[in-house]
Structure 1
Amino acid sequence: MKPEIAKLGYISLVSADLEKSLVFFRDIIGLEETEEKDGVHYLRAWGDFQHHTLSIQQGDRGHVKHIGWRTKTKEDVAAFGKLLEEQGIAVDQVDAWKTPGIGESISFQVPSGHTFNLYFDVKRPPVDEHRRSVLKNQTYKSWAKGISPRRLDHVNLHTSAESSATYSFMEEVLGFKMREYLISDEGNVLAGWMSVTQLVHDVALVSRPETPTKARLHHISYWLDDSQDILRAADILREHHFEFVGPGKHAISQALYLYVTDPGSGCRVELFTGSYLIFEPDWQPVEWTESERSFGNTYWGDSISKKELVKETIEAL
């Protein structure tokens, strides 16, 4: 039986201006800080349960070090390591708790050049009484500060590499399912929305030959409960003089969106709600053609231009 990934875990982000990034993610987005260790700050949303869903540290430029994924069982970590080595993929072993809250893990690059970490064991830090929710099934008080998203939702990756190998690798080796995809007039897949959960996508991968480096991050996404939360987020961002794209609705995924960029790292954040869940075991991936690309991106509302799609990406090692 093949090992399995359970969910998207966290993003390890480097910022060119750590203080700006911390103000943005803690005060404006409203994430809670669980720990600071050796200059790395660990944050999560009020409904996230594991130690963190985002880490931020100072660097000479904004980029993503790696993306963490939690497996379904502890044994799956070693099983994935063996499977990857059989595929000729170099695998690095990472000691337990080297990253706070994260147990023993493995690190490797997917064909697009993005670095993934797989782990199972986690620590869930206690919450100070004044921050803790009275709900036993919720970590922090909701709406304590800022936009206040509930949880991490997905990542959107760009690559200038030949992407068909990555789509195959994600499906055949890592076990992702293609949910929706965009195909070129020549029959090549230009973008794929893939998941290991019932979400339409835990990860999207977009082919962008014009990107300045092979592996890029277009955005990370945090989930808000409903459309009114998106409108509230727009008010908060405008009050703090942030430029943003949206609100709008994607045709692909049927989700409501708003995009804003962290001024410290250059990392774009999508605030996300709506969409649909997939429970059908025989789901057939939805195909979109190149002529439908603009409609797929924007069903209605403020849209992101093709220039912005490439310009506002950051390197993902």
Structure 2
Amino acid sequence: MAAAEPLHNIAHLGGVELFTPLPDRSLWYFHDLLGMEVAHTAGPSVYLRGYGDHAASTLKLTAAAKPGVGCVSWRAMSPAALERRARAIEATGLGVGWTNGDFGRGRSYRFHDPDGHLMEIYYEEQKFAAPPELRSTLKNQPQKYTGRGVGVRRTDHLALLAGDVGRNRQFAQELLGFQLREQVIFEGGKNEIGSWMSPTAVHHQLAYVVDVKGGHGRLHHFSLWVDNREDVLRAADILAENGIFIEAGPSKHNNSQGFYLYSYEPGGNRVEIYSGSYLVFAPDWEPVTWNEQERGTGTYWGAALPDSFIQYATPDIEGKETTVAPKLPVFF
């Protein structure tokens, strides 16, 4: 039987909105310490970008009572692809409807994933036009490297918690056309703990991981890319010198092979500084599956990830952990 034709309607992750109860401090973290640029402000929100992001903005910080994730934005391959995905999602009953778009984006279709995370698909996007003081001498780079703080280049991915990882993974594959890269499945294939997916050659732009507290619509982490391991090490120095809590790393994951550093921005959201990993170009890629014994501590080398890596997410909630939690190794 011939394989189904791949669904290529989503181009890439376009942007992420983060809620923060400390907007001024969160802005300091992303602008001063991580080196992102402010592109726009509107009401309770500030729009930022990395120096290598080609779009006008890829991160939206919005003042809110609690930290967490707002709207996750995906760019469509074309206007027709946007219409196709909107119709398909609308048929599932998870659609919210059309908006006129946010800063830097045109008409967008909003919906929820099965766990309740708000998402949108759009096509029209404003390209970043650097003012003279930010113009690079490289014509193929949207902005010069300023050298401020960590100097993150671009948005890379995010990880969301879900009560039913399999259902959300299936939604992302069948409705959005994402390709499955790796999975963590326990108990002889019965318990899907985490899945890593992407619409591009990047290893993963979206991960779903089980919410051990039984919550819905929560964020595990938001990840920003730097060019090499030395940049991750430099980020550790900068964050430590400025009193930012470093939860884990620098170390190397076994899953994705990424080199990482996890910290909490002042509003409470977990942010990863990330490099390395690998690209997937093969159209017949066979997803890699890890079991309990193979996963170990979730690191290839370096210190084991702490218990907080499983227990903490935003917004934080009081919750009774599921029966799998006490025997659940760290899964990133």
1:306 alignment partner AA: D
Match of 2:205 in 1: 202
Separation in 2 of the partners of 1:112 and 1:269?
21
Match of 1:226 in 2: 228
Separation in 2 of the partners of 1:108 and 1:164?
19
Separation in 2 of the partners of 1:228 and 1:140?
21
Match of 2:150 in 1: 147
1:66 equivalenced with 2:71 (yes/no): yes
1:156 alignment partner AA: A
Separation in 1 of the partners of 2:307 and 2:116?
22
Change (3 A) 1:148 1:72: same
Separation in 1 of the partners of 2:103 and 2:308?
38
Tell me whether 161-170 or 191-200 shows the greater mean CA deviation: 161-170
Shift of 1:272: 0.6
1:36 equivalenced with 2:41 (yes/no): yes
Shift of 1:125: 3.9
Shift of 1:3: 5.8
Shift of 1:186: 4.3
Tell me whether 137-146 or 1-10 shows the greater mean CA deviation: 1-10
Separation in 1 of the partners of 2:292 and 2:119?
29
Change (3 A) 1:144 1:307: closer
Match of 2:277 in 1: 275
* Secondary structure of residue in 1 paired with 2:132: coil
CA contact (8 A) 1:153 1:221 kept: yes
**Structure 2 counterparts to residues 155-194 of structure 1, below 5 A:** 155-159=158-162, 161-187=163-189, 188-194=191-197
Separation in 2 of the partners of 1:64 and 1:108?
14
CA contact (8 A) 1:248 1:302 kept: yes
Shift of 1:55: 0.6
1:15 alignment partner AA: T
Shift of 1:243: 2.3
Question: Structure 1, residues 122-153: CA drift from partner, whole Å, max 9, x if none?
Answer: 11242221122111111222143110111110
Please, which of 24, 40, 45 is the counterpart of residue 19 of structure 1? Answer: 24
**Structure 2 counterparts to residues 296-315 of structure 1, below 5 A:** 297-314=298-315
Separation in 1 of the partners of 2:213 and 2:284?
35
Which consecutive unaligned segments of at least 5 residues does structure 2 have? 317-332
Separation in 1 of the partners of 2:282 and 2:61?
37
Match of 2:131 in 1: 128
1:101 alignment partner AA: G
Please, which of 85, 88, 94 is the counterpart of residue 89 of structure 1? Answer: 94
* Secondary structure of residue in 2 paired with 1:299: strand
Question: Structure 1, residues 15-34: CA drift from partner, whole Å, max 9, x if none?
Answer: 10110001000000110111
Question: Structure 1, residues 161-196: CA drift from partner, whole Å, max 9, x if none?
Answer: 222211111111110111010001142211001111
Tell me whether 83-92 or 224-233 shows the greater mean CA deviation: 83-92
1:91 alignment partner AA: V
CA contact (8 A) 1:105 1:118 kept: yes
Which consecutive unaligned segments of at least 5 residues does structure 1 have? none
Please, which of 36, 47, 55 is the counterpart of residue 50 of structure 1? Answer: 55
Separation in 2 of the partners of 1:83 and 1:3?
14
CA contact (8 A) 2:94 2:114 kept: no
1:267 alignment partner AA: N
CA contact (8 A) 1:3 1:80 kept: no
Higher RCO (CA-CA < 8 Å; seq separation 6+)? 1
Shift of 1:92: 1.1
**Structure 2 counterparts to residues 98-113 of structure 1, below 5 A:** 99-113=102-116
* Secondary structure of residue in 2 paired with 1:50: coil
Separation in 2 of the partners of 1:3 and 1:87?
19
2:175 alignment partner AA: V
* Secondary structure of residue in 2 paired with 1:215: coil
CA RMSD of aligned residues (A): 1.7
Separation in 1 of the partners of 2:174 and 2:140?
35
1:250 equivalenced with 2:258 (yes/no): no
Question: Structure 1, residues 80-134: CA drift from partner, whole Å, max 9, x if none?
Answer: 11111222322311114xx110110011001121111100101124222112211
1:242 alignment partner AA: I
Aligned length in residues: 310
